[in-house]
Structures are given as C-alpha cells and as structure tokens.
Amino acid sequence: MPTDPPIPDLPDDLEDEAEDLVLADEEDLPLDAAETPARLQAGTEVIRRFQQSLPDAPGVYRMFDAAGDVLYVGKAKSLKKRVASYVRGNGHTNRIARMISETTAMEFITTGTETEALLLEANLIKQLKPRFNVLLRDDKSFPYILITGDHVSPQLTKHRGARNRPGDYFGPFASVWAVNRTITALQRAFLLRTCTDSYYENRTRPCLLHQIRRCAGPCTGEVGHVEYARLAQQARDFLRGRASDVKKQLAADMQAAAEALEFETAARYRDRLAALSAIQASQDINPQGVEEADVFALHEEAGQFSVQVFFFRNHQNWGNRAYFPKADKSLAIEEILSQFIAQFYDDKPPPRLVLLSHEVEDAALLCEALSLRAGHKVELSAPKRGEKRDLVDHALQNAREALARRLSESSSQKSLLASLGTAFGIDRPIRRVEVYDNSHIMGTNAVGAMIVAGVNGFSKAHYRTFNIKSTDLTPGDDYAMMREVLHRRFSRLAKDAPRVEEADTPAPESEEAEGADDSMPAWPDLVLVDGGKGQLDIARSVLDELGIADVPLVGVAKGVDRDAGRETFIIPDRAPFRLPPRDPALYFVQRLRDEAHRFAIGTHRAKRKREFTKSPLDEIAGIGPARKRALLLHFGTAKAVSRASLEDLAKTPGVNQATARMVYDFFHEGRG
C-alpha cells in the first residue's frame, strides 16, 4: 500500500466558491468485467483496515488513488458507520464500485459537529477537486452594488469579489446588465456620483453627468457635503427596502417646493420620484409577500439537469442565473439540489429564506450550516401553494426552458464540430477547438488571444490573453508574436496537464456513453491559426520543438479582399483548399475566427486605454495612491509635479522629505 498522501493545508476561512456543477465523466463508465472482482476486493480491504480504528464521531474523510490524487471527499455524522458502508461488498452503484476499486489510502478529519463537517466538506471539494464529487468549477462571482463608506462623498459603483472596501453592499444581482440598469436609475433618483476618487479630486468644474442631472456635483461644491450625505442615505434606505419612506419624503419635498413657488426644484423632485417608480416597475416579478429570498428550481430531462436561481431583495426581482449540473443518473434530484445549495453559498451570505422546488435531504443540517455562515437564522422551504409556490413554479418553468435550449444548442454544436472533423480529415470526436489571433497597432500594445469552443458553444471561462513580452521582437512581427503565444501556451499545457497515452485511456463502451461526455478537455482536438502558410509553419515548428505531434493544426487565410466565404485552409502535408460556399463547417469557422478577432481587438483596446491613462507617478517606486493623490491635489498635473523643485515637493501636505527626494530624483536624474 502506498504511503498516505499528506493532509493539504486548509485556508483560514471556508468561503471559496464557484458556480457550475460538473461530475466526473468516468462515473458512468462500468468497470472492466475481468478486473472488477479483484480490484473491488483490494479497495474494500484498504477501506476495512481504516474503518476498524475510526471513532464514532462526525468528520470528513478522503479517498486517494495510487497516484496520491483525491478520488472523493465525504462528510459523516459518524465516520465509523459511514466508512463501514463501503465494505458491505454488495449493493453499490456503479459509481461507488469504481470509486472503491481505485482507493488505495484514506485520510480523516474529525469535527465537533456534523454542521462543521458539512462546511469543511464543501471547502475541501472546492480545494481538491475530487473526481467522484460534484464540483463547483466556474469562479465567476456575482455583482453587487456598493455605496462606499471611505470618502466624504460616497461613490455609487458596481462591485465583484472580496468585500474589502468599506461601505454598504447590496445584492447579489444575477448579471452586470441588471446592476448597470439599476445604477443608471439610482443616478437619476439620488444624483450620486459614479466617478472614481482620483477623477473626483481632480475636477475643477462639473462634468457632463451633472449637466444632464445624473450627479449632484459634490466634486466642485455644487451640493454641500451634508446634503450629499442625505442623498446617499436615501439611496441606502431605498436599497434596504424602505422605498415607501423615501418616496413619501421626496413627495413632501416636492410639495413644499411647489408651495414656495420653486418650480424648478419641484420638477427635480418629480423626476426623482419618476426614476424610483421606474426601478420598481422594471422588475419582472415583484412579490409583495416575499421581501428577501433566493429561489432554487431543478429540472431533469434526458439524463441532464438544469438549476435556475432567482434573487429577490426588498420585494424586487434582481434577476436569475442558470446552471447545468452533470450528475450521475443514480443520484436523486433531491440529493443533487442539496449538494448544489451546500456549495453555492460557500462565498456569499444566504438570505433569510431559501425557496426550493424539491424537499432536500438533510434540510435541518443545511439550515444550521447556512445560519452559522450567515450569522442569522436561515429557513429552507419547499412551498406547496400560494405566492411562494408561484415563484418556485416560475423558476421551474425557466429551468425547463433553459434545459430545452441547451439540449437543442448542444445537438447543433456537436453536429458543427463533426462537420469540422469531416472537412479537415480528423477521425476522432472534436470536443475542444482553440483559435489564436494577435492584435496590435504598429507593434504597440501587442497582445495574443486564444478563444475556446466546445460542444456547449464558446467557453469564455477558458479564453486566455497573452501580453507579448519578448524584448528583442521587431515591432509588428506577427510571426514572432504567434511563436511566443503558442510556445507559452503549449509549454505550460504540457507541464500542467501531460498527455496520456491512448492505450492508458479507458474508452467508452457505447456510443451513448461517448455522446454524454461533453466536458471540456485540457488539450485541444483542433487548433485554428488566423493566417496563411507562414503562420501555420510557425505553429508547426513550435509544437515540433515541444515534442507535440498529435494536435491537428489548420491555418485560416483570409479570402481575396478579405471577403468572408472565400477563406483558404492550409493543413500540413495537404494542398490548400476551400470549402463550398454554403458548407456549415465554413460558417462555423467564420464564427470562430470572428470571435477570436473580437476578443483580440477588445483586449488590445483595453491595454491601449490603460496606457493612455497611465501617469508618470505610477512608475515611481514607493509612491502609493495616497501620496499620488496628495501631489496631484497640490500641483494639479503630473507635468507640474515633474517641474517642481525639491523644496516645493517637500511642502506638499502628506509628503515627507524622503518622498520628495524620491520624486525629484525620478524626474531629474532619469528613470534608470
């Protein structure tokens, strides 16, 4: 038996999460009939040896394979009893039997309560990514609205990620579009600034947003700090659900202004009231009896699953998001939904009410765990009637429709990928296509871009950008840029995910099993390079240098006058050719190429914009945001700072003699 793998270090907190559930593909595959008894017996004996010395206490267990990789992470109210269930010798599902057969070692962590075990299990699953668990793989976070609390004039902005900045956070919203729409309406209603602090502090006159009545103009004193703080507090009250109080106050102010014959002021209050009404009316469903809740609905069809999550805050619908868990058919819907919820709230606070389409197992345990994480009581409910049931039914309808669209799109996408294989002579199923393109202007701000497509369409989570780093590269040398991008991509890929020999890879035993495998592999089955023979030769030479010979390469040369539909395809050891004008594969390649071009151009423009807004002060080591702000406030511009004498720099509030010397030397003694 191999040495037990070490227990990995755990993070200090248990709040790390992602959003898309995927179960390991090999779970559906049966064991080889000749190997099953011996392998299953060996794994059972390993588990039995550990089980004999386990305590009758709650905790978390891990199963390891011969390579030391984690196969499965599970929780238990009693470790001894739970692990004993694996050594019964019969009654196991195919997934459990495979897991037992590959187990060569186990590790255990005891906890004080079963609730702690549930939270630790979710954290370890995210950290270790076991093959036989339900995994949360997408790390995108939900957007929030933030009203900052670290400035005399609070900023209204959208926020993602850790909540490190002081202020009030409102959300989650299902999409950035919903956040942007709400912020625009809040600007009209409360006239809060959305500009950055540095922009605010360098204004000498009101900006356009003040002119169109989207901002009160605190930066130039158009409104006093006391009145602006009142506006910010009204926005907080509105987002916290006290909309009626805010509207009553605005109505009273409007009436008072009208009675004082201040009709312009009254008109501004009228416009703000109209904006508040627009925010409330813009939601699709605004339940009167549900102030704060998340709604989860799960639908199953053709062995696939769809989960819809709706967010309700302050009696308003703040949007929804769809998930598509790929789970083993032996798992009950209730079990899948339970595991989904346990990991969904790993990095976000749950609301006081969670509405479900199905009764979940361990509901009381989940309530206790979520309450512990949130710091307040959380209720899980599967309503049977009334307004809450209507919300669940609406979410269930969306889950049903989303899954139907996904099944249709997946079938179409698989057909297009098959047509690519036929067109380019690839005799194996294509599950991952990578397309590479470069973007620059006369060699400046050069970037490389990689987009990825698979059986579920474009996979934006796998897109990558490459800042061209070569110092000896001739500006505008597309060949050299492509060489650098491909070398960095495939050398890293070969290091992180070494190729597995075909003989060592278990093949699906049926077409149905093979068709069900729609996960995104690490290695591409086809690489498209935007360019002609020269670009393709560069790509081929890079792969040859790295010893990679089994990745199909295709160059896509633009047609005459860059006309779409007249592209020429170049494949090694094959004469250049074109596809028929109405070939679906041709249209698909055009979509892939256009998406790569869009992504590369967008990345290049973003990099160029950052260069335009870069200040010379950013390059001075030891000058942080506070001192940079102090210098700009004192001198007005970076150019004025560069011309200032050492004595004048030292007189800047917040800048000491050493910092003044550092800034002076930077501008007067070179940057070397």
Alpha-carbon gap, residue 539 to 533, rounded angstroms:
10
Instruction: Name the fold adopted by 292-405.
Output: Nucleotidyltransferase; domain 5 (3.30.420)
Confidence of residue 518 (pLDDT cuts 50, 70, 90): low
The mean of the pLDDT values for the chain is 79
Instruction: Name the fold adopted by 425-611.
Output: Nucleotidyltransferase; domain 5 (3.30.420)
Confidence of residue 509 (pLDDT cuts 50, 70, 90): very low
For residue 281, the model assigns a pLDDT of 54
* Residue type at position 24: A
Q: What are phi and psi of 326, to 5 degrees?
A: -105, 105
Domain ranges of the chain: 21-136, 144-281, 292-405, 425-611, 616-668
For residue 611, the model assigns a pLDDT of 62
For residue 380, the model assigns a pLDDT of 92
How many other C-beta atoms can be found within 10 angstroms of the C-beta atom of residue 317?
Answer: 21
Kindly tell me the burial class for residue 548, based on how many C-beta atoms sit within 10 Å of its own C-beta (0-12, 13-18, 19 or more). middle
Confidence of residue 146 (pLDDT cuts 50, 70, 90): very high
For residue 296, the model assigns a pLDDT of 94
For residue 321, the model assigns a pLDDT of 84
484: pLDDT strictly greater than 50: yes
Q: What is the mean pLDDT of residues 399-416?
A: 82
Query: pLDDT tens for residues 583-628?
Result: 888 888 888 888 988 888 888 787 777 665 566 777 777 777 778 7
Q: What is the mean pLDDT of residues 156-162?
A: 85
381: pLDDT strictly greater than 80: yes
Q: What angle do CA 647, 652, 654 make, to 5 degrees?
A: 130
452: pLDDT strictly greater than 90: yes
For residue 25, the model assigns a pLDDT of 39
CB 520 within 8 A of CB 459: yes
How many other C-beta atoms can be found within 10 angstroms of the C-beta atom of residue 630?
Answer: 17
Which residues sit opposite 157 in a β-bridge?
146
30: pLDDT strictly greater than 80: no
Alpha-carbon gap, residue 478 to 530, rounded angstroms:
11
Same fold, 21-136 and 425-611: no
What are the start-end ranges of the H helices in 224-362?
225-239, 243-259, 263-281, 333-344
**Helix (H) or strand (E) run with residue 625 in it:** helix 625-635
Place of tokens 């139907």: 404
DSSP 66: T
Alpha-carbon gap, residue 181 to 361, rounded angstroms:
38
For residue 140, the model assigns a pLDDT of 63
Q: In what side-by-side order are the strands of the sheet with 144-148?
A: 156-159, 144-148, 167-170
Choose the most confident range, by mean pLDDT, from 128-142, 264-278, 562-576, 580-594.
580-594
| Residues present in the chain in total | 672
Q: What is the mean pLDDT of residues 166-187?
A: 82
**Helix (H) or strand (E) run with residue 418 in it:** helix 386-424
Query: pLDDT tens for residues 293-341?
Result: 899 999 988 778 888 998 888 777 777 888 887 677 777 888 888 888 8
Say if domain 616-668 classifies as CATH 3.30.70.20: no
For residue 287, the model assigns a pLDDT of 67
Instruction: Name the fold adopted by 21-136.
Output: GIY-YIG endonuclease (3.40.1440)
Q: What is the mean pLDDT of residues 426-447?
A: 83
Alpha-carbon gap, residue 580 to 578, rounded angstroms:
7
Sequence-distant (6+) residues with CB within 8 A of 429 are 417, 418, 421, 514, 525
Q: Could you tell me if residue 254 is left (phi over 0), alpha (psi between -120 and 50 degrees) or otherwise beta? A: alpha
